[in-house]
Structures are given as structure tokens and as C-alpha cells.
Chains A and B, each alone.
Chain A
């Protein structure tokens, strides 16, 4: 049996044992997201419009992660609208930043991996790196949106008459609880994912100048910083969506 298959099996059993039905749903969301990610890269490879395919699949990934991640309809709906709004804001940041930084494709450190490959493949790698950055930020944005929406939902269920101005303050204080740990998740992911690259820099005696201007380093750091900015934006945006929903519901009653 292949290693990946056994690990998938272990994760599946562990998730169902610990989480029951919710565990099964979470596992399903991982599986669907894998199919969506793979589909996105295959469609890009088949020369479909990169940004169109990415944005469409990004919205589906957000929906899958959020609706299979929580049961409460108020939480999921708020989190979904909030995270889609944040995604739009983030895309408006990513596109100019990627054009500015020019970190698409591969760096000199990849030369060995590229041996014997044709690089003139007629695909705009700048758009590919925009797609990478958008997709890699979605998980963190979805997680933050669910946490904020669930936290505010809990507060509202205990004080149904909470004035909407207070809600904003509560949103920020829920945000404070999650931001530190999310910051760590992202940065440890970054340290871990690029240990090999950092060892390379040290072994080949890169200077500080070469290091902070390096194409691969800059592209990875941009990815993490943008995910992080996405998480911070999620706090006020999701709170705002919740506030609008509460105001509408109260107007109806």
C-alpha cells in the first residue's frame, strides 16, 4: 500500500473517532477541496483562463470549507458572505502586488528541477502565481470567518437584544483570541515548508541583500503576509456582515 493511502486512512479513522459525524463531514471537505485544487491546476494546464477558473473554484472551496465545517446556519451563512467579501479585497491587493514583485515561475535555485523541461509553455506564470496566492489564503480566511461568526453567534444567543454598536467591539475581542494563534499557524507553516530553502541560502553563503531580494523567498513571504492580512480583514468584515444580518432581522420583526 502506498504511504499516502495509509496516512489518508489513519486521518479518516482518527477524524471519525474523535469527531463522529462532524469528523466525517470535515474529512469530506478535505477530499472535495483536494479535487477542486487538482481540477484548478489541470484546467490551468489546459489553457483555460487562469483567473476565472481560480476565482470560481475559490468561491466553491470557501463554501465547502465553511458549510461542511459548521452546522449552525447563522454561523455558516455569515462566515461565507464575510469570507467571499474578504477574498475580493485580497484579490484587489494580490494583483498589483504580484505585478510589482515579479516573483512568478521559478528562481535560479530551481535550475536542477527544471532540467530537460521546456519553459516556453505559453502560460502566463504571473497569473499562475496570483492563483497560488489566492488559493493559499482561503483556508486561513475561512477558518477565521467561522471563528468570528460562531463567537458572535454565541454572544447573540445569550444577549439577543445586544445593540449593534456593541457587536463590533465584541467582534474585535473574539478576533483578538484567534489572531495570535493563526499568526503562528501561518508562520510555522512557512518556517516548516521552507527549511530546505533556508539551509540552501546558508550553505551557499547568500548575503542579506541576496536573501531579501530572492525571488522564491519573496514569493513565499508575500503568500504568508497576504494570508495574514486576509485574516485580519476577516475580523471587521465578518462582524459587519453579522451586524447587517441582525439589523435586517430586527427590522423584519
Chain B
């Protein structure tokens, strides 16, 4: 018992250090205005005016309200100057917001003829909240998972850098080769991630193969279905944030989106099969294949639900807006949810295909009686 005591204290020390570091980071982002080129201001006084009630064509009741904000500039040329800006907001806050005292915001400042400054708000400064939550997630990951957490984090960071470079390349090529770029990127992502988690082992190669087979299989199925159904009921023009031909962007999004889930499924099956083979080296190929299927089918349902819920819940804002604008359920679904639905279905097909692929790869590689 005595031995456990100091270990506990050490971990309390770590927790206190982590909290201190997190607090320091948040404090720093509260005071990083000097890093921005755009003027940043802090609200020091809010005066709300009267609410004006509003009713739209669909009998939705709302209000609009003006507020006058006294803002102190925190950076640049006009530092420490105080100016008055105006803001209008509604009850629903769909595209506006009510500002509160002490919030920091980005401003657009113009100097008028009489040397008075005039400012308009462009957006809220949100870096503190991003830093806070990322720090919370990363420290929880490292505290609970130690080294394997660090490797997982490293793989996401490296993948993020590659993703960013691929986007630069795509924009540089004017979006002409998006499928090729992100198809190759998917291979690199899978290889890099699995290498960092599993090292350069036989297990890594098998998992890589199963992941690629599952993803490529799902994409081929999708392309065939799109071709033979003539994309009936899909509206690629409804895709958000599209600056180039939407269909290839959609396919590329689908490939990347399914890749992680297919890799998840393959990793789980193959690591269990390798462990099984280590414990019972005399297991036959057929038994290995069947165990792979057994493991796979118990994971697939929950795993398909992971992406399905993310893709569906993400459309809620637009769905609510359509429904409140008098559109029918069917129309709202087609315009907002159908593409996310296709993405979840494709990743589902990839996840299911990965089960026989992973079981087959692992069982044909792990010879009976072999000791790895």
C-alpha cells in the first residue's frame, strides 16, 4: 500500500500542472490580439434598445432588437481607442447574435471625414474556446492513454498537414484532379496511420490491405449505383460550400469519410485474429475466417451508427429552417439529408465489406502452426 501513495501524488501533481498550463494557454489567447492584422475589440458596455416584434410570411413570431456596444480596440493603429458600434439581433439568432460584455470581436474600422472612427462588427473571436477544448481533449488523451495516445495524436496531426497540402494542390490545379489527389491521399492516410499505430509489421500490411479493399469496394459499388440509377433523387447542387464541380468533391468526401471507419473495423478484426492465432497456433484457416466474421459482425452495427449519427445530426440547422419556411418533410429531406445519407450508406457498405476482406487476408496469411 505504501508504494501506491507516492504514485498517486505524482499524478495529482501532473493534473495540477495540466490545469495550470491550460489556464495559461486560455489566458494567452485572451491577450493575443496583437497577433491579428484585423482590428480586435473588447465589448466594455452594452445598451439594448426596445424589441420590435416580427412576423414572417409563414407566421413565425420573432423579434429584432438593436444594441449599442462600446468597444475598446485591443490592437493595431487604433489601440486603446473606444468606439461605438451597432448590432441587431433576433430571438432565433440564426445568423446574428446578441453580444455580451467582455466578449472580443473582429471589427472593420473606417475613418470618416470628421476624423471620427466608425466600426462594424465582422465576427466573434473564437480562438479561446477552440484552444480550451482542444487542450482538454489532448490532455485527457495523453493522461489516460500515455504513449499510444501520443501516437494517435501524432497521426492525426500528420494527416492534418497532408490534408492541408492536398487542398493546396487541388486549388492550384483548379480542382481538375480532385478524385486522383484525394484517392492517393486516402492510401497515404491509411498507410501512415496504420504504420504509426502498428509499426512496420505483418499485421499492419494485412490491415492496410483490408482497409483499402473495403474502401475501394464501397466506392466502386457507389459509382456503379450512381451510374445505373442516374443519380435519381440526389441534388449535388444542394451541397454546401462548393466552389468547383460538386460531384467529384462529394465522391472524395465519401472516400475520406468512410476510410476511418473501415480502418477501425479492419484493425479490430485483425488484431483480435492475430491475438487468437498467438494463443492457439493450431487453429485452422477456416476457423480463423469464421472467428473474424464473428468479431466483425458484432462491431459493424454500432460503427455504422457512429458516422450515420454525425452526418444526419449535422443537417439539423438547415432542416429546421426549411421546415419553418413551410417546406414539406420530403422536400426538406431531399435538399438537406439525402447526400449525408448516401455518405453514411457508402461507409456502411465499406464497413461490411471490410469484414470478409479482413478475415480472409488474416486467415490466409496466418499459417497453421506458425509462430509469429
Q: Contact check: which of B140, B271, B296, B313 meets A232 at CB < 8 Å?
A: B140
| Prevailing SS type, chain B contact patch | helix
Given A11-B348, A227-B310, 13 further pairs, Cβ under 8 A: A3-B342, A4-B342, A41-B319, A101-B130, A105-B95, A117-B321, A118-B58, A120-B56, A122-B92, A139-B309, A181-B197, A214-B123, A218-B130
Question: In the complex, what's the smallest C-beta–C-beta distance from A157 to chain B, in angstroms?
Answer: 15
Q: What mask results when residues 186 to 216 of chain B are scored 1 for a CB within 8 Å of chain A, else 0?
A: 0001000100010000000000000000000
Which residues of B are at the interface with A, using a C-beta cutoff of 8 A? 35-38, 54, 56-58, 60-62, 64, 90-95, 97, 106, 123-127, 129-130, 133-134, 136-137, 140-141, 144-145, 148-149, 151-153, 155-156, 159-160, 163-164, 167-168, 170-171, 175, 182, 189, 193, 197, 221-222, 225-226, 228-229, 231-234, 238-244, 246, 249, 252-261, 263-264, 267-268, 271, 293, 296-325, 329, 333, 337-338, 341-343, 345-346, 348-349, 352-353, 355-356
Say yes or no: A10-B167 contact (C-beta < 8 A), given A143-B306, A188-B257, A192-B255.
no
Question: Could you show 24 A-B contacts with beta carbons less than 8 Å apart?
Answer: A1-B229, A3-B225, A10-B221, A23-B352, A42-B323, A117-B322, A117-B325, A118-B58, A120-B94, A124-B91, A132-B313, A139-B309, A140-B306, A185-B264, A185-B303, A188-B259, A191-B257, A195-B167, A195-B253, A209-B36, A213-B126, A221-B134, A225-B133, A229-B140
**Which residue on A lies nearest to B341, using beta carbons?**
A4
Residues of A within 8 A of B153 (CB): 183
Query: Are the CB atoms of A172 and B144 closer together than 8 Å?
Result: yes
The 5 nearest A-B residue pairs measured at CB: A26-B301, A188-B260, A192-B257, A45-B323, A192-B256
Residues of B within 8 A of A68 (CB): 301
Residues of B within 8 A of A242 (CB): none
Query: Are the CB atoms of A188 and B302 closer together than 8 Å?
Result: no
Residues of B within 8 A of A212 (CB): 126-127, 130
Q: Contact check: which of A122, A128, A185 meets B317 at CB < 8 Å?
A: A128
| Prevailing SS type, chain A contact patch | helix
Q: Does A241 contact B (CB under 8 A)?
A: no
> How many angstroms from the CA of A209 to the CA of B38 in the assembled complex?
9
Query: Are the CB atoms of B268 and A181 closer together than 8 Å?
Result: yes
> How many angstroms from the CA of A203 to the CA of B258 in the assembled complex?
25
Query: Are the CB atoms of B242 and A120 closer together than 8 Å?
Result: no
Residues of B within 8 A of A198 (CB): 163-164, 167
Say yes or no: A126-B93 contact (C-beta < 8 A), given A4-B233, A188-B256.
yes
Say yes or no: A121-B305 contact (C-beta < 8 A), given A212-B130, A228-B137.
no
Q: Contact check: which of B160, B244, B316 meets A131 at CB < 8 Å?
A: B316
Query: Are the CB atoms of A125 and B140 closer together than 8 Å?
Result: no
> How many angstroms from the CA of A181 to the CA of B130 in the assembled complex?
23
Q: Contact check: which of A7, A180, A213 meets B349 at CB < 8 Å?
A: A7
Query: Are the CB atoms of B159 and A179 closer together than 8 Å?
Result: no
Query: Are the CB atoms of A203 and B171 closer together than 8 Å?
Result: yes
Residues of B within 8 A of A204 (CB): 243
Say yes or no: A213-B106 contact (C-beta < 8 A), given A68-B301, A69-B302, A139-B308.
yes
Say yes or no: A37-B309 contact (C-beta < 8 A), given A2-B233, A212-B130.
yes
Of A12-20, A84-92, A244-252, the one with at least 4 CB within 8 A of chain B: A12-20
Residues of A within 8 A of B148 (CB): 176, 179-180
> How many angstroms from the CA of A225 to the CA of B51 in the assembled complex?
36
> How many angstroms from the CA of A2 to the CA of B333 in the assembled complex?
14
Residues of B within 8 A of A4 (CB): 233-234, 338, 341-342, 345
Residues of B within 8 A of A218 (CB): 126, 129-130
Q: Which of A91-131 contact B (CB under 8 A)?
A: 97, 100-107, 109-110, 113-114, 117-126, 128-129, 131
Question: In the complex, what's the smallest C-beta–C-beta distance from B92 to chain A, in angstroms?
Answer: 5
Query: Are the CB atoms of B60 and A120 closer together than 8 Å?
Result: yes
Question: In the complex, what's the smallest C-beta–C-beta distance from B319 to chain A, in angstroms?
Answer: 5
Question: In the complex, what's the smallest C-beta–C-beta distance from A29 to chain B, in angstroms?
Answer: 6
Query: Are the CB atoms of B155 and A196 closer together than 8 Å?
Result: no
Query: Are the CB atoms of A110 and B342 closer together than 8 Å?
Result: no
Residues of A within 8 A of B124 (CB): 102, 213, 215
Query: Are the CB atoms of B345 and A8 closer together than 8 Å?
Result: yes
Q: What mask results when residues 170 to 204 of chain A are scored 1 for a CB within 8 Å of chain B, else 0?
A: 00100111111111111111011111111110111
Residues of A within 8 A of B38 (CB): 209
Q: Does A142 contact B (CB under 8 A)?
A: yes
> How many angstroms from the CA of A183 to the CA of B197 in the assembled complex?
12
Question: In the complex, what's the smallest C-beta–C-beta distance from B329 to chain A, in angstroms?
Answer: 6
Residues of B within 8 A of A164 (CB): none
> How many angstroms from the CA of A235 to the CA of B313 in the assembled complex?
24
> How many angstroms from the CA of A26 to the CA of B306 in the assembled complex?
12
> How many angstroms from the CA of A213 to the CA of B29 in the assembled complex?
12
Q: Contact check: which of B155, B241, B349 meets A11 at CB < 8 Å?
A: B349
Query: Are the CB atoms of A122 and B91 closer together than 8 Å?
Result: yes
Query: Are the CB atoms of A6 and B259 closer together than 8 Å?
Result: no
Q: Does A63 contact B (CB under 8 A)?
A: no
